Amino acid sequence: MLKGVSMKRSIRMALLVMVGLGLISSAFAGDCCGKGAACKGKGTCAMVGAHGAGSEAAVKTAAYPLDKCIVSGEKLGGMGDPVVKVYDGREVKFCCNGCVAKFEKDKAGYFKKIDDAIIVAQKPTYPMTTCVVSGEKLDGGEMTPVDYVYNNQLVRFCCNHCVDQFKKDPEKYMSKLHPEKAVEKTSDKTDVKTEQSAAPESGSPAPH
Protein backbone atom coordinates (compact mmCIF):
# COMPACT_ATOMS: atom_id res chain seq x y z
CA MET A 1 0.00 0.00 0.00
CA LEU A 2 2.79 2.39 0.98
CA LYS A 3 4.66 1.53 -2.17
CA GLY A 4 1.56 2.45 -4.25
CA VAL A 5 1.20 5.83 -2.50
CA SER A 6 4.91 6.56 -2.94
CA MET A 7 4.67 5.70 -6.64
CA LYS A 8 1.72 8.09 -7.13
CA ARG A 9 3.59 10.88 -5.36
CA SER A 10 6.61 10.34 -7.59
CA ILE A 11 4.45 10.51 -10.71
CA ARG A 12 2.80 13.73 -9.50
CA MET A 13 6.17 15.32 -8.76
CA ALA A 14 7.43 14.35 -12.22
CA LEU A 15 4.34 15.89 -13.86
CA LEU A 16 4.77 19.12 -11.89
CA VAL A 17 8.42 19.39 -12.95
CA MET A 18 7.47 18.83 -16.61
CA VAL A 19 4.76 21.52 -16.46
CA GLY A 20 7.19 23.93 -14.83
CA LEU A 21 9.78 23.38 -17.55
CA GLY A 22 7.10 23.88 -20.19
CA LEU A 23 6.16 27.26 -18.72
CA ILE A 24 9.79 28.34 -18.57
CA SER A 25 10.46 27.40 -22.19
CA SER A 26 7.28 29.23 -23.28
CA ALA A 27 8.43 32.36 -21.51
CA PHE A 28 11.79 32.32 -23.22
CA ALA A 29 10.29 31.55 -26.63
CA GLY A 30 9.44 35.25 -26.87
CA ASP A 31 12.77 36.32 -25.37
CA CYS A 32 15.49 34.09 -26.77
CA CYS A 33 18.22 36.35 -25.42
CA GLY A 34 16.91 36.53 -21.89
CA LYS A 35 17.60 40.27 -22.17
CA GLY A 36 14.17 41.55 -23.11
CA ALA A 37 14.79 41.43 -26.86
CA ALA A 38 11.74 40.74 -28.98
CA CYS A 39 12.14 37.67 -31.13
CA LYS A 40 10.72 36.80 -34.51
CA GLY A 41 9.81 33.41 -35.87
CA LYS A 42 11.09 30.30 -34.14
CA GLY A 43 13.36 31.84 -31.54
CA THR A 44 15.29 34.02 -34.02
CA CYS A 45 16.44 37.05 -32.11
CA ALA A 46 15.60 40.43 -33.63
CA MET A 47 18.31 42.07 -31.53
CA VAL A 48 21.25 40.91 -33.61
CA GLY A 49 24.39 40.99 -31.55
CA ALA A 50 22.68 39.94 -28.31
CA HIS A 51 23.75 36.38 -29.05
CA GLY A 52 26.89 37.52 -30.85
CA ALA A 53 25.29 36.45 -34.11
CA GLY A 54 21.82 36.23 -35.61
CA SER A 55 20.12 34.58 -38.53
CA GLU A 56 20.69 36.33 -41.85
CA ALA A 57 16.91 36.21 -42.31
CA ALA A 58 16.27 38.13 -39.09
CA VAL A 59 17.39 41.53 -40.30
CA LYS A 60 17.97 43.45 -43.49
CA THR A 61 21.69 43.18 -44.13
CA ALA A 62 24.29 44.35 -46.60
CA ALA A 63 25.62 41.50 -48.75
CA TYR A 64 29.11 40.26 -47.95
CA PRO A 65 31.40 41.68 -50.66
CA LEU A 66 34.46 39.40 -50.25
CA ASP A 67 34.98 36.06 -51.99
CA LYS A 68 37.31 34.54 -49.38
CA CYS A 69 36.86 33.44 -45.77
CA ILE A 70 38.38 36.16 -43.57
CA VAL A 71 39.64 33.56 -41.09
CA SER A 72 41.16 30.82 -43.27
CA GLY A 73 41.66 32.69 -46.52
CA GLU A 74 39.93 29.85 -48.37
CA LYS A 75 37.73 30.58 -51.37
CA LEU A 76 34.08 30.71 -50.29
CA GLY A 77 32.17 27.76 -51.71
CA GLY A 78 35.29 25.62 -52.00
CA MET A 79 34.20 23.50 -49.03
CA GLY A 80 30.49 23.46 -49.81
CA ASP A 81 27.97 26.21 -49.20
CA PRO A 82 29.44 29.07 -47.13
CA VAL A 83 28.30 29.48 -43.54
CA VAL A 84 26.43 32.80 -43.29
CA LYS A 85 26.19 34.81 -40.07
CA VAL A 86 24.99 38.32 -39.24
CA TYR A 87 26.72 40.55 -36.71
CA ASP A 88 25.14 43.93 -35.89
CA GLY A 89 23.46 44.07 -39.28
CA ARG A 90 26.54 43.00 -41.25
CA GLU A 91 26.63 39.74 -43.16
CA VAL A 92 29.80 37.66 -42.89
CA LYS A 93 30.48 34.42 -44.78
CA PHE A 94 32.78 31.62 -43.65
CA CYS A 95 34.14 28.52 -45.35
CA CYS A 96 33.15 26.33 -42.37
CA ASN A 97 31.79 26.37 -38.83
CA GLY A 98 35.28 26.03 -37.38
CA CYS A 99 36.10 29.51 -38.70
CA VAL A 100 32.94 30.94 -37.11
CA ALA A 101 34.19 29.93 -33.65
CA LYS A 102 37.61 31.50 -34.28
CA PHE A 103 36.00 34.70 -35.60
CA GLU A 104 33.78 35.11 -32.56
CA LYS A 105 36.75 34.93 -30.21
CA ASP A 106 38.15 38.11 -31.80
CA LYS A 107 35.34 39.86 -33.68
CA ALA A 108 36.91 43.31 -33.45
CA GLY A 109 40.19 42.07 -34.92
CA TYR A 110 38.52 40.19 -37.77
CA PHE A 111 36.16 43.05 -38.59
CA LYS A 112 39.22 45.29 -38.90
CA LYS A 113 40.60 42.81 -41.46
CA ILE A 114 37.25 42.73 -43.29
CA ASP A 115 37.10 46.53 -43.44
CA ASP A 116 40.67 46.77 -44.72
CA ALA A 117 39.90 44.18 -47.42
CA ILE A 118 36.70 46.00 -48.44
CA ILE A 119 38.57 49.31 -48.76
CA VAL A 120 41.23 47.73 -50.98
CA ALA A 121 38.60 45.99 -53.13
CA GLN A 122 36.16 48.90 -53.55
CA LYS A 123 38.44 51.94 -53.61
CA PRO A 124 39.46 51.62 -57.32
CA THR A 125 35.81 51.73 -58.42
CA TYR A 126 34.51 54.20 -55.81
CA PRO A 127 31.92 56.32 -57.69
CA MET A 128 32.55 59.75 -56.11
CA THR A 129 35.47 62.19 -56.18
CA THR A 130 34.00 64.37 -53.43
CA CYS A 131 32.98 63.85 -49.79
CA VAL A 132 29.36 62.68 -49.48
CA VAL A 133 28.82 65.10 -46.56
CA SER A 134 30.71 68.31 -47.32
CA GLY A 135 31.15 68.02 -51.08
CA GLU A 136 34.86 68.77 -50.68
CA LYS A 137 37.32 67.20 -53.09
CA LEU A 138 38.81 63.94 -51.81
CA ASP A 139 42.12 63.05 -53.49
CA GLY A 140 44.28 66.11 -54.01
CA GLY A 141 42.42 68.17 -51.43
CA GLU A 142 43.85 69.91 -48.38
CA MET A 143 43.16 67.00 -46.04
CA THR A 144 43.86 63.28 -46.22
CA PRO A 145 40.62 61.41 -47.05
CA VAL A 146 39.12 59.10 -44.44
CA ASP A 147 38.07 55.67 -45.70
CA TYR A 148 35.15 54.27 -43.69
CA VAL A 149 33.12 51.07 -44.08
CA TYR A 150 29.37 51.23 -43.50
CA ASN A 151 27.32 48.02 -43.88
CA ASN A 152 30.04 46.31 -45.92
CA GLN A 153 30.42 49.28 -48.28
CA LEU A 154 33.22 51.83 -48.58
CA VAL A 155 32.31 55.47 -47.93
CA ARG A 156 34.98 58.18 -48.29
CA PHE A 157 35.10 61.46 -46.38
CA CYS A 158 37.28 64.55 -46.42
CA CYS A 159 37.72 64.49 -42.62
CA ASN A 160 36.64 62.77 -39.42
CA HIS A 161 34.12 65.53 -38.67
CA CYS A 162 32.17 64.46 -41.75
CA VAL A 163 32.26 60.84 -40.53
CA ASP A 164 30.51 62.00 -37.33
CA GLN A 165 27.89 63.86 -39.38
CA PHE A 166 27.34 60.79 -41.54
CA LYS A 167 26.67 58.58 -38.51
CA LYS A 168 23.72 60.78 -37.50
CA ASP A 169 21.80 59.89 -40.69
CA PRO A 170 23.67 57.31 -42.81
CA GLU A 171 20.86 56.62 -45.30
CA LYS A 172 20.60 60.29 -46.22
CA TYR A 173 24.18 60.29 -47.44
CA MET A 174 24.24 56.73 -48.79
CA SER A 175 21.65 57.78 -51.39
CA LYS A 176 24.33 60.00 -52.93
CA LEU A 177 26.37 56.90 -53.71
CA HIS A 178 23.39 55.38 -55.54
CA PRO A 179 21.69 58.28 -57.36
CA GLU A 180 20.28 55.85 -59.93
CA LYS A 181 17.94 54.48 -57.25
CA ALA A 182 16.64 57.97 -56.48
CA VAL A 183 16.10 58.54 -60.22
CA GLU A 184 14.14 55.30 -60.49
CA LYS A 185 11.82 56.33 -57.65
CA THR A 186 11.32 59.81 -59.18
CA SER A 187 10.60 58.30 -62.60
CA ASP A 188 7.98 55.97 -61.12
CA LYS A 189 6.17 58.90 -59.49
CA THR A 190 6.37 60.95 -62.71
CA ASP A 191 4.86 58.12 -64.75
CA VAL A 192 1.96 57.81 -62.33
CA LYS A 193 1.23 61.54 -62.44
CA THR A 194 1.43 61.58 -66.25
CA GLU A 195 -0.99 58.68 -66.53
CA GLN A 196 -3.39 60.33 -64.12
CA SER A 197 -3.31 63.67 -65.96
CA ALA A 198 -3.83 61.92 -69.30
CA ALA A 199 -7.00 60.21 -68.10
CA PRO A 200 -10.16 62.33 -68.64
CA GLU A 201 -12.00 63.41 -65.53
CA SER A 202 -15.26 61.66 -64.79
CA GLY A 203 -18.20 63.62 -66.12
CA SER A 204 -16.11 65.78 -68.49
CA PRO A 205 -16.86 65.55 -72.23
CA ALA A 206 -14.53 63.38 -74.30
CA PRO A 207 -12.33 65.34 -76.76
CA HIS A 208 -13.57 65.37 -80.39
Cα 87 from Cα 104, distance rounded (Å): 10
- Residue 93 to residue 75: CA distance in whole angstroms: 11
Instruction: Please tell me what DSSP assigns to residue 68.
Output: B
> Taking residues 122-128, what's their average pLDDT?
93
Between 151 and 52, the more confident residue is: 151
Confirm whether 3 is domain-assigned: no
More confident residue, 127 or 202: 127
Distance between CA atoms of 115 and 149, rounded to whole angstroms? 6
pLDDT at 8: 60
pLDDT at site 4 = 52
pLDDT digits (tens, 9 = 90+) for 4-54: 545 566 656 655 544 444 433 444 344 333 333 333 333 333 333 333 344
Taking only the tens place, the pLDDT of each residue in 58-80 is: 335 678 999 999 999 999 998 88
Domain ranges, residue 149:
126-182
In a shared domain, residues 162 and 96: no
Asked if residue 25 is part of any domain, the answer here is no
- Give this prediction's pTM: 0.57
Instruction: Say whether pLDDT at 201 is over 80.
Output: no
Q: Note whether 145 and 103 are same-domain residues.
A: no
Determine, yes or no, domain membership for 62.
yes
